[in-house]
Structure 1
Amino acid sequence: MTDARTKRTQTLTAAAKAKSQAKTKAAEQAIRALIKRGEPITFQGVQREAGVSHAFLYNHPDLRGRIERLRSQARTVPAPAAPADAESTLVLALPSQITRLKQQHREEVQALRDALEQAHGENLDLRRELARRGLPQAAIAETK
């Protein structure tokens, strides 16, 4: 090999190594960010966060092992029983509560309609009584 070719090869090798180190650093930071936010550690999540390819993550044994280990730990950690039970109870209770409130609303609206109908009837009866007694139209108009 010539001296120029050797130098180009060394430069390209150094650039590739620097690029790989930068990607590795980005992946490590992505893993820490996902952990900090409490998000699941997956290859796809790390890839998206770090801006690296799946192939890069799978081809680096250290990163691959760490992601697989963190992913399996997340799967084996049982969810807290109380919040899950409380949430499922809430999900089951809300539809029945909504149904009950809708029924109550319909009954209250019907009661208001009945009361309004009765008030209109009484008002009509009073106007007729005023007209029968022969009161002036002005008195009847004031009651409207």
Structure 2
Amino acid sequence: MTTPRAARTAALIAAAKSKSARKTADAEQAIRRLLTRGERITFQAVQREAGVSHAFLYNHPELRPRIERLRAEATPPAGTDTTRADPENTLVRVLGRQITDLKKQHRTEVLALRDALEQAHGENLELRRRLDRTGAATSRVPSIDEPS
């Protein structure tokens, strides 16, 4: 015959085991989701994704070694370039390259416009000189610099 205290203790133990099993299942699913998305497996990422505590993950006899193994597998060896795998860094590099290209294009276009402006000023000056030489004193048009 069980006493009421033993029954309560057994119920509490069963509830704790059930809760632990749910948390374990949640952590396992979180690890699978993180792997599917290609994210790094860390205790913090699993904790955030599964909604469990760090202590639960660190104290779990099966989850802790698994997370440590997955974290070690995903960590690149020392001296490797980690910026290549980071999409934000890739985007920054691409946009930086586009800015550099646009600056070059802008400089080229500005130089072309300056050359065209110099040529137009030269043609304008030559036309004024021809006009002055042909005796256009009677039909002279005042220039912009001269008062009318």
Which TM-score tier does this pair reach, normalised by the shorter chain? Answer: 0.5 to 0.7
- 2:6 maps to amino acid: T
TM-score if structure 1 supplies the norm length?
0.62
Against the structure 1 CA distance between its residues 97 and 38, is the aligned structure 2 distance closer, same or farther, given a 3 Å change threshold?
A: closer
Map of 1:38 onto structure 2: 38
- Local SS of the residue matching 1:26: helix
User: Offset of 1:12 from its aligned partner?
Assistant: 2.4
Give RMSD over aligned pairs. Answer: 3.9
Aligned counterparts of 2:115 and 2:129: Cα–Cα separation in 1 = 21
- Local SS of the residue matching 1:61: coil
> Does residue 56 of the first structure (1) align with residue 46 of the second (2)?
no
- 2:124 maps to amino acid: N
Structure 1: segments with no counterpart, 5+ residues: 78-83, 85-91, 138-144
Deviation larger for 7-16 or 124-133 = 124-133
Against the structure 1 CA distance between its residues 135 and 108, is the aligned structure 2 distance closer, same or farther, given a 3 Å change threshold?
A: same
Write out per-residue CA displacement over residues 6-41 of structure 1, whole angstroms, 9 at most, x where no aligned residue: 333333222222211111000000111111122222
Aligned counterparts of 2:29 and 2:9: Cα–Cα separation in 1 = 30
Aligned counterparts of 1:129 and 1:116: Cα–Cα separation in 2 = 20
User: Offset of 1:96 from its aligned partner?
Assistant: 9.3
Against the structure 1 CA distance between its residues 119 and 51, is the aligned structure 2 distance closer, same or farther, given a 3 Å change threshold?
A: same
Figure out how many residues of one structure are paired with residues of the other and give that number. Answer: 123
Map of 2:21 onto structure 1: 21
Task: Give 1 or 2: higher helix fraction.
Answer: 1
Percent identity between the two aligned chains: 66
Aligned counterparts of 1:116 and 1:8: Cα–Cα separation in 2 = 95
- 1:69 maps to amino acid: R
Against the structure 1 CA distance between its residues 63 and 106, is the aligned structure 2 distance closer, same or farther, given a 3 Å change threshold?
A: same
Write out per-residue CA displacement over residues 68-116 of structure 1, whole angstroms, 9 at most, x where no aligned residue: 2222233378xxxxxx6xxxxxxx9x98997687456425412311321
Map of 1:118 onto structure 2: 119
TM-score if structure 2 supplies the norm length?
0.60
